[in-house]
Structure 1
Amino acid sequence: MRTDNTGVRVAMISMHTSPLDTPGVGDAGGLNVYVAELAHRLGSRGVEVDVFTRRRDADVPERIRISDEVSVLQVTAGPAAEVAKEELPGLTGDFAAELARRWGERDYDLVHSHYWLSGMAGMIMASARELPLVHTMHTMARVKNLNRADDHLTEPDVREHGESEIVRRATVLTANTQDEADELIRHYDAVQDQLAIVPPGVDLEIFHPCDQIQSRERYDVDLDAKIILFVGRLQPLKAPDVLIDAVAEILRRRPELRDQLRLIIIGSPSGPQSTWADALPDAIADHGLTDQIIVRPHSPRAELFRWYCVADVVGVPSYNESFGLVALEAQACGRPVVATDVGGLRHAVRAGETGLLVDGHDPVRWADALESLLDSPARARELGAAGALHAAGFSWDNTAAASLAAYSRALRRRD
C-alpha cells in the first residue's frame, strides 16, 4: 500500500443499508454513519472508495458520486424495494453475482465488508479476485443472543454460521474495542493476528458543546424543565421502554416533578419487531405520562445536535451496543450519559467521569441514576464537560487512520 494512499482502491460493501440513508429510520443506524464517515475520510486521504449497496429504489442512479474519490453504487438483488432484513440472506448470492458484473475490470486492492450480510458477499468477491478481505462485524449474533431479554427475537442460526465462516476466511477483522476483539476470539475462534482495533468516531464539526438556553428557546422548551433524551431506533434492543418505566418510577416517588420532568424520545420503528413501537403510546398512557413524554420522528444530524443541547441527560438503555455512537454524540455536545453497563458502552462512557453505567434494566436502578443527575445540575455539568473532552479523542480521521493501518496489514498478509 502506498504511503501517500494515492491510487489505493477499496471495494466497500454495505449490502443491507446505504450510507446515504438517514440514521434512525428503518434499518439505518450507527453502521450507516460509520460507512459514510469512513468512506468520506478515506477519500480525503487520497483513497478511492466504491461503496456497493443493494438497490431499493428503481429511480436512484446506478452510481452516486459523493466526492472525487468516493461513490455509492446500486447493486440489483431481489426487488428494487425494501426487503425485510430476515429475508436478505437468501439474496446474498444474487447480490454477489450482480456485484461481479458491476465490478467489471476495475482493479481494487481489497474488499472491506460491513455486517455479516455484506461479509457473505465479500467472501465470494475476495476469493474470486484473490483480494484480501477486511471485515467489520458491527454487531454479532452470539453476543446479541447472550444479552437479549426473554421477549426479544433470537438471532437465527444462519447468521451465526455465516459470521463463523466470515471470521474463518477474513484476512483482517476490525473491532471497535479490545472487548469486542476478545468476543470475536471467545465466540468465533478468531485469532489474534487477524484483529485490528479501529474505534469509531464522532463528527466534531456537527456535535460540539453548546448553549442549552439558546437551544431550548429555539424549540420552545421550558427553561426550568428537567429533560431526559433518548435517541435511536424504536426497537426492543434499544429499550426506550426502560426510560418510560424509569420516568414513571421517578414521578411515583416525587409527584411534585410532574410539571418539570420530560422524556423526549427521538427515533423511528425498525427491524423485524418494528410493530413493537406501536405499543409505546399505550405504555405511556398506562403510566399516565402523555404530558411528560414526547415521541418525535428521527431528525437530521444537524437538528439532532440541537436536541442534545436541549437535554439535561441522555439515556442509552440498550441491551447491547458494539460501541454506542449516540453516547459519543451526546458527550461531544457536553451532555452526561446514563447507559447500560454492557458492550462498547463501557468504553464510550467513562463511568463516574463522563456519565453513569447501570447494571441491567431495572427501572428502579435507572430512576436512581437519572434522578441523581437531574437533582445535581453542577454534577451533571461536570460530567458533561469531561464527556466533551473524552469525545474529542474520537474523530473519524482517527478511524480512517486506524482503518488504513488495518488495510496495510491485510495487504501484507496477502503478499
Structure 2
Amino acid sequence: MRVAMISMHTSPLQQPGSGDAGGMNVYIASTARQLARTGVSVDVFTRATRPSQGEVVEVEPNLRVINIVAGPYEGLDKESLPTQLAAFAGGVLLFARCAALNYDVIHSHYWLSGQVGWLLRDVWQVPLVHTAHTLAAVKNEHISAEDSPESEARRICEQQIVDNADQLVVNTREEALNLERHYDAVPDSITVIPPGADTELFTPGTERATERCRRELGIPLHAKVVAFVGRLQEFKGPQVLIRAVAELLRRDPHRNLRVIICGGPSGRSATPEQYRELAEELGVARRIRFLDPRPPEELVTVYRAADVVAVPSYNESFGLVAVEAQAAGTPVVAARVGGLPIAVADGKSGVLVDSHEASAWADALACLLDDDAARIAMGEAAVGHAAEFSWPRTAANLAELYRGVIEHTPERCYSRRAAG
C-alpha cells in the first residue's frame, strides 16, 4: 500500500512547539513512522520552507518527506498560504507524474491540505481520508477574549472537505459530534481513532533522575515545579497559568514555587516578550523560566523535572502533551475542554478545571502541589493511563481504515464516471 500524506502548512520534520508546529506535527511524524515500519510506503508532501533541505528527505525505509516549492521559502505566514494552494497541488501532481508514482489512498491533515487532497482525489481517482485536527467553528466557539476569530472562508473550505472526503478521522467522540453539529457530517463517514504517545521515550524517572533533570534546567531541587509545554499563543493558555501562579503567590508569598514555560511563539502577534511582560506586571517573573522548544529526547527532561504539568488550552482535539507528561509519571492539571477529559483521567491521573479563571486554576494547582501523597499516587496512575494510548495502535487502526476505503473506491469511481 502506498499512502500520500498531505501536510501543506507545516512539515513533520519541524520542531514542535513554535510557529505552526505542534501536536499535528507529532501525530503525522509518529503515525507515518509506524505505518512505514509495517511495510506501508508513505510520502508526506509539505511546502518547502528552505532550499537547503532538498526536494526529497529519506526519513527511514518506506518513509519520505517531499518538499514542494509553492511560494517564497520564508516570509509567508499561514494566513497567506491559501494563495499557494494551486501551486502546491500542481507541485504534488508534477512530482508524482515524473516519478511515475501511483498512490492507493490520500490522507490530508488540516483544512489547507484537505483542499489539496480533494483535488488530488479527483485527479488520481483514489480515496481521500481527512483529519481536521482543529475546526474553525469549534475554535470560534471556545475562543479566548484576546484571540482573533477564524475566518468564514476557512469554515466554508472545511465544509467542502467534510462533504467530499471519503472518510473523516477524529481523535475523540466529541470531535465526531462537532463535525455532525457544525458541519452536518454523516456519522458513517466519521471514524474515531485516538492518537498515542511514545511510551518508550516518555517514561518515569527515578528520584535521582528527577534531581539530574532539575539541575540541567537550573531549577531548585526542593521547589514545587509546574511546567507548561506548547506553543506560546493565547489559545494554548500560557497566560492562564501565569495568572494562576500570581494568585497562588498572592495567597502565600513564601510558597516555594517555580514554573517552566517551554515553547515558542505562534501566530502573527504572538511573542515570548508578551508573556514575560505579563509575568513582570504580575510580579512573578523571577519564579518563571522560559525555555525554547526542544525535541522529544530533551522534552522528557522537562516532564520529569515537573511535579505537575499544566494544559490550560481553550480547546484541544486530544492533548498529546497531557499524555506524554502522564507517560513520564507526572500528573496533569488540564482544562475540561475538547479531548482532554479523555487524555486525563480526572481525579486519577490528574485534575480537570471547568474554567480559565485564575482563582480556579490556583485552587486546582494548590490541590496537587500541597498534597504530596495524592500527587505521587496520581503520578503512578498516570503511567498506566498513558499506556492505553500508543502510536503503533493508532497506525494499525489507520491502516485498517485505509484498506477499507480502498476496497470501496472502484464503486465510487465507477458511479462518478457513469454520472458524468
TM-score normalised to the size of structure 2? 0.94
1:264 alignment counterpart? 260
Shift of 1:83: 1.4
2:90 alignment counterpart? 97
Helix, strand or coil at the partner of 2:60: coil
1:185 and 2:180 aligned: yes
1:380 alignment counterpart? 375
Shift of 1:312: 0.5
1:155 and 2:150 aligned: yes
CA offset digits 1:65-100 (Å, max 9, x no partner)? 111201000111111224100001111111111111
Shift of 1:215: 2.2
Q: Tell whether the 8 Å contact from 2:18 to 2:232 is kept in structure 1 after alignment.
A: no
Q: Residues of 1 paired with 2:37 and 2:192: CA distance? A: 21
1:284 and 2:282 aligned: no
Q: Tell whether the 8 Å contact from 1:330 to 1:336 is kept in structure 2 after alignment.
A: yes
Shift of 1:220: 4.1
Identity %: 46
Q: Look up the equivalent residue of 2:92 and give its one-letter code.
A: L
2:269 alignment counterpart? 273
1:138 and 2:133 aligned: yes
2:55 alignment counterpart? 62
Of 34, 37, 40, 2:33 maps to 40
Q: Residues of 1 paired with 2:242 and 2:145: CA distance? A: 19
Q: Tell whether the 8 Å contact from 1:199 to 1:399 is kept in structure 2 after alignment.
A: yes
2:313 alignment counterpart? 318
Q: Residues of 2 paired with 1:141 and 1:215: CA distance? A: 39
Mapping 1:14-413, distance limit 5 Å: 14-104=7-97, 105-211=100-206, 212-257=210-255, 260-275=256-271, 277-413=272-408
Q: Residues of 1 paired with 2:122 and 2:183: CA distance? A: 21
Q: Look up the equivalent residue of 1:264 and give its one-letter code.
A: I
Q: Tell whether the 8 Å contact from 2:59 to 2:65 is kept in structure 1 after alignment.
A: yes
Q: Look up the equivalent residue of 1:265 and give its one-letter code.
A: I
Q: Tell whether the 8 Å contact from 1:172 to 1:409 is kept in structure 2 after alignment.
A: no
Q: Tell whether the 8 Å contact from 1:12 to 1:50 is kept in structure 2 after alignment.
A: yes
Shift of 1:375: 0.2
Q: After alignment, is 284-293 or 310-319 more displaced?
A: 284-293
Q: Tell whether the 8 Å contact from 1:19 to 1:36 is kept in structure 2 after alignment.
A: yes
Shift of 1:150: 2.4
Q: Tell whether the 8 Å contact from 1:174 to 1:406 is kept in structure 2 after alignment.
A: no
Instruction: Calculate the aligned-residue CA RMSD, in Å.
Output: 1.1
Q: Look up the equivalent residue of 2:68 and give its one-letter code.
A: V
Q: Residues of 1 paired with 2:216 and 2:170: CA distance? A: 39
- Number of residue pairs matched? 405
CA offset digits 1:214-253 (Å, max 9, x no partner)? 3224434322101110000000111101111101101111
Q: Residues of 1 paired with 2:117 and 2:217: CA distance? A: 45
Q: Look up the equivalent residue of 1:376 and give its one-letter code.
A: D
Q: Look up the equivalent residue of 1:120 and give its one-letter code.
A: Q
Q: Tell whether the 8 Å contact from 1:197 to 1:402 is kept in structure 2 after alignment.
A: no
Shift of 1:196: 1.0
CA offset digits 1:114-146 (Å, max 9, x no partner)? 000000000000111111000011111100000
Q: Tell whether the 8 Å contact from 2:248 to 2:366 is kept in structure 1 after alignment.
A: yes
Q: Residues of 1 paired with 2:47 and 2:218: CA distance? A: 41
Q: Residues of 1 paired with 2:75 and 2:342: CA distance? A: 34
Q: Tell whether the 8 Å contact from 1:110 to 1:134 is kept in structure 2 after alignment.
A: yes
Q: Tell whether the 8 Å contact from 1:244 to 1:284 is kept in structure 2 after alignment.
A: yes
Q: Tell whether the 8 Å contact from 1:55 to 1:81 is kept in structure 2 after alignment.
A: no
1:5 alignment counterpart? none
Q: Residues of 2 paired with 1:213 and 1:35: CA distance? A: 33
Helix, strand or coil at the partner of 2:235: coil
Shift of 1:413: 2.7
Q: Tell whether the 8 Å contact from 2:219 to 2:258 is kept in structure 1 after alignment.
A: no
Q: After alignment, is 399-408 or 134-143 more displaced?
A: 399-408
Q: Residues of 1 paired with 2:3 and 2:75: CA distance? A: 27
Q: Tell whether the 8 Å contact from 1:120 to 1:166 is kept in structure 2 after alignment.
A: yes
CA offset digits 1:3-26 (Å, max 9, x no partner)? xxxxx1001100000011010121
Q: Look up the equivalent residue of 1:407 and give its one-letter code.
A: Y
Q: Residues of 2 paired with 1:75 and 1:219: CA distance? A: 38
Q: Residues of 1 paired with 2:75 and 2:105: CA distance? A: 29
